[in-house]
Amino acid sequence: MNTADHIWHNGEFVAWEDAKVHVLTHALHYGTSVFEGIRAYDTREGTAIFRHHDHLKRLEDSARLYYMDLPFTRDQIREATHELIGRNGFKSCYIRPLVFRGHGPMGLDPEENPVEVMVAVWEWGAYLGDEGKQHGVRAKVSSWRRISPQSLIPHSKAGGQYLNSVLAKIESKRGGYEEAILLDEHGRVCEGSGENIFVVKDGIISTPPQTASILDGISRKSVIEIANDLGHTLVERDIARAELTLADEVFLVGTAAELVPVREIDDIEIGEPGQITRELQSVYEDALHGRAPAYEKWLDVVPVPSKA
């Protein structure tokens, strides 16, 4: 990971090495944080943040579900992020806003603990590797089930909930795979450890619905819209485990990973990325990099600071 010069913390721009919290920060002990993963790309119009508004809305929603009021408006966080990217001089970067319960009374009732906000940016390449984006990754269905809405809140991108993804990721990596696919509590296909999933069979694209304990992914929404615009048939429906390995094509989508084909699941070959995966990947990449006029609506162009 490349570092940056500045981080935004509670309304101030601070040097990377000075962005610190107390060891009794509530979120460190109990996972009381929510966050976003966002990317900015170098486009013809300048540095542009992909679906920035949607990510900040989800951040606010994630916080609300855990009874946290953001001490900054979405616009304030947006403008701070613009300035942060400018100060760090990045043309493209990963953006990590984090809202967390800070140092205060210790114990499980967090409501007296201050809600802190920080935004960090850094330069970060393809999460599952360039080779994975080209030729597909090897995945394994995890022995860990995705968190259930009976105990936690799959719709909230909350820090503590990510212990679930961490266990799945470690298991898959130690087993020699690049990614884990989690089933939901009922044994239906849910998602990757940090990506939503799509399967293609006989020309029809399917993806698990909102009720399958998924994170309501922003890349997922984008790919659904692109697939519909391209005239494909796309259905949101429950997917059985065996449908993964019997699929013609499988791919994962997420902000960090972007669109990544899956070439093998549970040691059963699916094959090199198929035609629909390739087509969607190409249009999606164009959308991310500002090369698709139809999807320019998704770009939040970072203003260039005027020279006084």
Shortest spacing between CB 116 and ligand PLP, in angstroms = 21
- Cα separation, 189 vs 207, in Å, equals 9
Binding pattern for the stretch 13-52 against ligand PLP, x by CB under 6 A and - elsewhere:
------------------------x---------------
- Cα separation, 78 vs 73, in Å, equals 9
Shortest spacing between CB 194 and ligand PLP, in angstroms = 4
Write down the H helix ranges in 178-217.
Answer: none
Residues touching ligand PLP, count (CB under 6 A): 13
Stretch that binds ligand PLP, among 104-112, 188-196, 258-266, 292-300 (CB under 6 A): 188-196
CA end-to-end distance (rounded Å), the chain: 33
**Contact flag: residue 255 with ligand PLP (CB under 6 A):** yes
Q: Based on CB atoms, which residue is closest to ligand PLP, 207 or 255?
A: 255
Amino acid at 87: R
Residue 236 phi, psi dihedral angles, 5° rounding = -100, 115
Of 133, 140, 157, 169, which is the active-site residue?
157
Shortest spacing between CB 144 and ligand PLP, in angstroms = 12
Looking at residue 69, what DSSP letter applies?
-
What is 273-307 written as a DSSP string? --HHHHHHHHHHHHHHTT--GGGGGGEEEPPPPPP
**Contact flag: residue 194 with ligand PLP (CB under 6 A):** yes
Shortest spacing between CB 96 and ligand PLP, in angstroms = 11
Residue 173 known to be catalytic: no
**Contact flag: residue 264 with ligand PLP (CB under 6 A):** no
**Contact flag: residue 110 with ligand PLP (CB under 6 A):** no
Stretch that binds ligand PLP, among 26-34, 120-128, 214-222, 277-285 (CB under 6 A): 214-222
Amino acid at 235: V
Cβ–Cβ < 8 Å for 65, 83: no
Stretch that binds ligand PLP, among 76-84, 105-113, 189-197, 272-280 (CB under 6 A): 189-197
- Cα separation, 109 vs 153, in Å, equals 18
Q: Which helix (H) or strand (E) holds 153?
A: none
Amino acid at 34: V
Shortest spacing between CB 40 and ligand PLP, in angstroms = 14
Residues of this chain that interact with ligand PLP (CB under 6 A) are 37, 165, 191, 194-196, 215, 217-220, 254-255
